[in-house]
Amino acid sequence: MNRLDAIFAPASLAVVGASTTPGKVGHDIFVNILKGGYTGTLYPVNPKARSIASVRAYPTITDIPDEVDLAMIILPPMLAVKAVEDAIANGVKGIVIVSAGFREVGEEGRRIEDQIVAMCREAGVRVIGPNCLGVINPKADVRLNASFSARMPESGNVSFISQSGALCTAVLDFAADREFGFSKFISIGNKADVDELDLLRYLHADPHTEVIMIYLEELRRGPEFIEEVKEITSGENPKPVLVIKSGRTGAGAQAAASHTGALAGTEAVYDAIFQQAGIIRVDSIDELFDYATAFAYKNESALGKLRRKVPNGNRVAIVTNAGGPGIVATDMTVSSGLRLADFHQDTIEALASHLPSAANLHNPVDVIGDAAQDRYENALAAVIRDEGVDGALVILTPQSMTNSLETAKAIARIARRSSKPILCCFMGIVDVSSGVKYLQANGIPVFRFPENAAKAFGALYRYSQWLNRQVLAEFSFQHDVAAAEKIISGCLQRGQTYLGELDGLNLLKAYGFNTLPTHLAETADQAVQIAGEIGYPVVMKIVSPQIVHKSDAGGVKVGLNSDQAVAEAFETIVANAGQFDPGAEITGVLVQKMAPRGVETILGINRYPVFGPLLMFGLGGVFVEIFKDVIFRLAPVNRNSARRMVRSIQGYKLLQGYRGSPPADVRSLEEALVKLSDMVTQHPDIMELDINPLLVHEAGSGFTVADCRIVLKPVDMDDS
């Protein structure tokens, strides 16, 4: 028996700290369990009361004559320790600590919490909480409502994990209004022992859970979380995971002068983690329910197995009895990453034979306001059969001829026969309620507004893309790790944490990055000589420890074509730098070969305390500052992730070639990202890195590093 089963489906349960006073948590939770119709045996524990809500009470858990599976503890921290000790002595398998006053209030609370966890770990007992709202399992053979909430939700196939207790009650209230059912409902509180990853594993294996929803405030695991959740969302027996994340800030990025540092806020890290794990992020509770409704949608396959209805493609057919909502749905379809399907000639002919002449036979199909159920049925049957259609949105507005219940039945008949998802939007509340209820009872997703339906369809489509993603063969690179290590340690031994330009380029070279011949000139004459050796055209750049962004200081000149231009540039650059910052020490001026043309991109690294290194990719130059068109992933990234990164920025179109410019070498970008990931994984001393720009040339011609900035971890810094 899984230890968490004892928490979700205990055969017997003791409420330690049950109270005789209505309104007190210890009273209300006990009564909620009692009134919820718990199918196991319930024991109140209270040393001062003979009975709680007419049920005989026991002074301590050890006085209970029978075996107890689960102890719910509702006591202040100091008393909770003793209660946990007793519960363990009595052989409980699980503990839920509802009370607050632990880690979240300070040092003393944290100490007690740690002590409790240590005791339970030693005894092999799992703990949920403290500082949580409890657990609910509405399934008919359990009916456990061990929570603050007087309302037991209906039984369903969606499970909900919440880090906030307060949000739980709101969600339950909302669910009641929608007649939305749950499989397991868990408030995890401080996550002293059981955390979201433990629960995700459990719910993944739970045959009664089809969709997992999480409300999250912070994560305490990074790479491990990604690896495991990826398996849950897309491995064998995949289950969709929907997350709603509050904007509370947790582990902050290193304060940094680099672009990556400035852009890589906590939200960027979470977005990266969710994307890498295949978790679907939603923005509101409303959306959470909308998506869960769509994802819970299953159909019996030919083999009698339930099959989740995810579309194979993004071509949607819309069937509506009103023009306006049809247009809204069309717009939302497009902005949700979907397309309106083009119908086959046979489909159009079938529609023509069933619909009045005023009807629109093309997508969106308008069956006209006076449509009864037969028109819906015939139109939907025709479009869903079309090979060019991956799913349908059915929109119904109540008109005098509309029969919402019969239309719902017709839709359900077709939905049962088809493996393609059919999402409905019955607009209104009163007039359409019988139809809505019928659809809900038959597991067909129904929404109040076309935009909700279209967005949910978009989420289904994105999930199907995640499930069906191709797995690319990995690159096999031979990096010169020893050379890289030598550069880094040399720098650290000199007490430097900022890697000079030349060292930076050499480090990148050791990882197979194409760099340009670059040398430092201390005088104008030297610059001319170097330029002669590397060949024109050249670029010149100021080198000064105080100047981070060289162009800002007038410290960069490009496209220099002659000795004279180089000599002049030297003087100008030094003068500009002096003007920009009179205190700046000028080391010299770099003379660098001018790179061939290319699209300017930025690649970066920033290291996070809990999650490790974060990689960034985006369009470089001014784009990064103005449009912030960048994407993040936690390292290590494989080629699949690298490809997704490259393709998910807005500016990907620019890389594909635009207005006659040739497509850029996108594959080489995938290589660059994997190389960078290798580098940061192998060298923990690298704190921050910006390559801006990395010039990406025409397809087949690779890329060139034109500028890099690398910061190392100071020797005395903690390994946190």
Q: Which stretch binds Mg ion (CB under 5 A): 19-27, 274-282, 430-438, 702-710?
A: 702-710
Smallest distance, Å, CB 251 to ligand ADP?
Answer: 28
CB hemisphere CA count around 515 (13 angstroms): 20
- Tell me: does residue 707 bind Mg ion (CB under 5 A): yes
Smallest distance, Å, CB 539 to ligand ADP?
Answer: 4
Residues contacting Mg ion: total by CB under 5 A: 2
User: Considering CB distances under 5 to 8 angstroms, the limit depending on partner class, which of Mg ion, ligand ADP, none binds residue 541?
Assistant: ligand ADP
Taking alpha carbons only, the member of 166, 163, 131, 127 closest to residue 149 is 166
Which residues fall within 8 angstroms of residue 5, CB to CB, at 6 or more apart?
none
User: Considering CB distances under 5 to 8 angstroms, the limit depending on partner class, which of Mg ion, ligand ADP, none binds residue 549?
Assistant: ligand ADP
Q: Which stretch binds ligand ADP (CB under 6 A): 61-69, 154-162, 328-336, 592-600?
A: 592-600
Smallest distance, Å, CB 514 to ligand ADP?
Answer: 11
Using Cβ positions, the residue closest to Mg ion within the complex turns out to be 707
- Tell me: does residue 519 bind ligand ADP (CB under 6 A): no
- On whether the CB atoms of residues 477 and 683 are closer than 8 A, the answer is no
Identified binder of ligand ADP from the candidate list 245, 308, 375, 550, rule CB under 6 A: 550
Separation CA 185–CA 161 (nearest Å) = 6
Q: What is the DSSP letter of 22?
A: T
User: Considering CB distances under 5 to 8 angstroms, the limit depending on partner class, which of Mg ion, ligand ADP, none binds residue 556?
Assistant: ligand ADP
Smallest distance, Å, CB 620 to Mg ion?
Answer: 7
- Tell me: does residue 336 bind Mg ion (CB under 5 A): no
The pair of three-digit structure tokens given for residue 323, joined into one six-digit string: 């023009």
Identified binder of ligand ADP from the candidate list 130, 325, 435, 693, rule CB under 6 A: 693
Separation CA 137–CA 153 (nearest Å) = 9
User: Considering CB distances under 5 to 8 angstroms, the limit depending on partner class, which of Mg ion, ligand ADP, none binds residue 550?
Assistant: ligand ADP
The pair of three-digit structure tokens given for residue 528, joined into one six-digit string: 């001319």
The pair of three-digit structure tokens given for residue 512, joined into one six-digit string: 């197979």
Smallest distance, Å, CB 524 to ligand ADP?
Answer: 19
User: Considering CB distances under 5 to 8 angstroms, the limit depending on partner class, which of ligand ADP, Mg ion, none binds residue 49?
Assistant: none
By beta-carbon proximity to ligand ADP, the closer residue of 147 and 544 is 544
DSSP string of 315-380? EEEEEES-HHHHHHHHHHHHHTT-EEPPPPHHHHHHHHHHS-TTSB-SSSEE--TT--HHHHHHHH
Taking alpha carbons only, the member of 273, 131, 279 closest to residue 204 is 279
Binding mask 620-639 for ligand ADP (x = CB under 6 A): -x------------------
Separation CA 138–CA 198 (nearest Å) = 21
Residues numbered 79 to 138 that lie near ligand ADP (CB under 6 A) are none
End-to-end CA gap in the chain: 37
Q: Which stretch binds Mg ion (CB under 5 A): 27-35, 102-110, 248-256, 700-708?
A: 700-708
Whether the CA torsion 540, 546, 549, 554 is positive or negative: it is: negative
Taking alpha carbons only, the member of 616, 617, 584, 582 closest to residue 600 is 617
Cis peptide preceding 662, ω within 30 of 0? no
CB-count burial class (<10 Å; 0-12, 13-18, 19+) for 309? buried
Binding mask 593-622 for ligand ADP (x = CB under 6 A): -xx----x--------------------x-
Q: Which stretch binds ligand ADP (CB under 6 A): 62-70, 285-293, 544-552, 648-656?
A: 544-552
Binding mask 193-212 for ligand ADP (x = CB under 6 A): --------------------
Smallest distance, Å, CB 520 to ligand ADP?
Answer: 14
- On whether the CB atoms of residues 316 and 389 are closer than 8 A, the answer is yes
By beta-carbon proximity to ligand ADP, the closer residue of 619 and 634 is 619
User: Considering CB distances under 5 to 8 angstroms, the limit depending on partner class, which of Mg ion, ligand ADP, none binds residue 551?
Assistant: ligand ADP
- Tell me: does residue 534 bind ligand ADP (CB under 6 A): no
| Angle made by CA atoms 670, 490, 688, in degrees to the nearest 5 | 40
**Strand 365-366 relative to strand 339-340: parallel, antiparallel, unpaired?**
unpaired
Residues numbered 657 to 696 that lie near Mg ion (CB under 5 A) are 692
- Tell me: does residue 557 bind ligand ADP (CB under 6 A): no
By beta-carbon proximity to ligand ADP, the closer residue of 21 and 546 is 546
- Tell me: does residue 600 bind Mg ion (CB under 5 A): no
The pair of three-digit structure tokens given for residue 679, joined into one six-digit string: 């580098």
**Strand 211-216 relative to strand 708-712: parallel, antiparallel, unpaired?**
unpaired
The residues of the shown chain that bind ligand ADP, judged by CB under 6 A, are 516, 539, 541, 549-551, 556, 558, 592, 594-595, 600, 621, 692-693, 706-707
The residues of the shown chain that bind Mg ion, judged by CB under 5 A, are 692, 707
